[in-house]
Amino acid sequence: MLTLRPNCEHCDCDLAPDQNMAYICTFECTFCRTCTEQILLKVCPNCGGNLVERPVRTAAMLQKYPAATARVRKQG
């Protein structure tokens, strides 16, 4: 199951688990749409893999399987 991290690892903006504003790679590195498209050019800076739109979890599933609360931020 996806972790659904709460923030962009690049700019640290909030990313809601029920909206389609987040992008992820196969390691679940997470970035906002702006950083993904304008800065990272859809390439994960951590692993070099492609970034794709993160699936949205429904409200019912968020209650049963909540999103992560620990923020991840990569410096550099």
Tens of pLDDT, residue by residue over 25-74, are 999 999 999 999 999 999 999 999 999 999 999 999 999 999 999 999 97
42 located within any domain: yes
Angle at 37 between CA 35 and CA 43, to 5 degrees: 85
Q: Residue 30 belongs to what H/E stretch?
A: strand 30-32
- Examine residue 32 and state whether it is found in any structural domain, yes or no: yes
The count of structural domains within the chain is 1
In a domain, 1, yes or no: yes
Token readout for 68 is 């992560």
**What CATH number is associated with residue 33?**
3.30.40
C-alpha 39/C-alpha 32 separation (Å) is 10
In-domain check, residue 68: no
Is residue 72 one of the residues assigned to a domain?
no
Q: Is the pTM of this model over 0.75?
A: yes
Expressed as residue numbers, the domain containing 9 is 1-62
* pLDDT tier for residue 75 given thresholds of 50, 70 and 90: low
